[in-house]
């Protein structure tokens, strides 16, 4: 038995058409499944939690974006029930890390049905799992501003960035990476389990979701002009060659400052925070 957990509102409505396509395919293949999608975030969580108590579950098929991944891993982490992700979100960053086919979501279903799952790492912060990126600094301030806007379009993040940049100032951080401690000023700090966030920004392009380590990216203070010049390079991951970008690795990272943290696009809250890698916590499919 498979469980189907879909968000028809993901990807500005793209999730609805992808869900219909997945339902059609499951029926065509005569695959037994139970739809536990629910009518709200809360009901989806409760449905998933209760359904995982059932026996002989093959996998949970999640149709949606990174928000649905974040929801599902809270329940699937540490279990033997794998996650089949059908990307249908706006950013699809976990799908990018797993090299899933973004142009043909049903291809991800076929791949999962014909290959064995593998185990990947998750991060854990403040009692919550995250799949991709935990961050603080400029991007978190942009998120704070965007979340106060009434605009529903993704453009609100671009507007929030344009409003935040002129007034943003680097902050002082106390950072511990395993046994190493430092104090530094930074514009942005990212703790990476996966590769990207924000819909394809390869903040830590060399991060490996199976190596039991975080990649820590620290952007030290640069001028606003330099920041705008470096920023576009993040989509190719070439920003890491900039002299003000530092990359470290570790299993446990603590960050303290007068700042806010986000993980997988979800608000974690004020610092201090401590993030730890949970090796092999999730079973899913990495396309070879």
Is there a domain that residue 99 lies in?
yes
Judgement on whether residues 140 and 265 belong to the same structural domain of the protein: yes
Domain closes at, from 67, 83, 115: 115
Q: What is the CATH number of the domain that holds 25?
A: 3.40.50.10330
Q: What's the distance, CA 251 to chain centroid?
A: 18
Q: Are residues 102 and 52 in the same domain?
A: yes
Examine the domain organization and report whether 195 and 89 are in the same domain.
no
* Bridge partners of residue 119, in order along the sequence: 283
Would the pLDDT of 42 be above 80? yes
Kindly report, residue by residue over 43-90, the tens digit of the pLDDT: 888 989 989 888 789 999 999 889 899 999 999 999 999 999 999 888
Q: What per-residue confidence (pLDDT) applies to 40?
A: 79
| C-alpha separations of 135 from 19, 49, 55, 87, 118 in Å | 31, 28, 37, 23, 26
Pair 135, 276 in one domain: yes
CATH of the domain at 193: 2.60.200.40
Taking 90 as the threshold, does the pLDDT of residue 205 lie above it? yes
Task: Confirm whether 190 is domain-assigned.
Answer: yes
The pTM is what? 0.91
Domain range enclosing 144: 130-280
Overall number of domains in the chain:
2
Does the residue 123 lie in any domain? no
Tell me, yes or no, whether 285 lies in a domain: no
pLDDT single digits (tens) 172-190? 999 999 999 999 999 999 9
């Amino acid at each position: 038995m498979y469980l189907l957990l879909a968000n028809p509102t993901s990807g500005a409505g793209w999730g609805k058409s992808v869900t219909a396509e997945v339902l059609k395919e499951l029926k065509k293949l005569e695959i037994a499944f139970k739809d536990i999608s629910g009518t709200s975030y809360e009901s989806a969580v409760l449905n998933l939690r209760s359904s995982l108590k059932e026996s002989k579950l093959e996998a949970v098929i999640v149709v949606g974006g990174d928000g649905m991944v974040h929801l599902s891993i809270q329940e699937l982490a540490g279990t033997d029930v794998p996650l089949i992700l059908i990307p249908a979100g706006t950013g699809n960053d976990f799908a990018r890390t797993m090299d899933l086919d973004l142009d043909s979501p049903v291809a991800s279903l076929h791949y999962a049905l014909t290959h064995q799952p593998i185990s990947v790492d998750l991060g854990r912060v403040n009692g919550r799992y995250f799949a991709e990126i935990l961050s603080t600094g400029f991007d978190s301030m942009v998120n704070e501003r965007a979340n106060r806007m009434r605009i529903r379009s993704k453009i609100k993040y671009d507007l929030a960035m344009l409003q935040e940049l002129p007034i943003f100032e680097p902050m002082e951080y106390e950072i511990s990476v395993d046994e190493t401690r430092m104090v530094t000023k930074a514009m942005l700090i990212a703790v990476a389990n996966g590769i990207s966030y924000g819909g394809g920004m390869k903040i830590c392009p060399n991060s490996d979701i199976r190596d039991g380590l975080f990649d820590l990216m620290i952007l030290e203070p640069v001028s606003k002009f330099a920041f705008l010049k470096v920023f576009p390079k993040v989509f190719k991951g070439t920003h890491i060659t900039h002299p003000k970008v530092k990359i470290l690795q570790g299993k446990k990272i603590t960050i303290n400052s007068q700042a806010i943290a986000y993980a997988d696009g979800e608000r974690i809250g004020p610092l201090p925070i401590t993030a730890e890698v949970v090796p092999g916590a999730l079973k899913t499919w990495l396309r070879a």
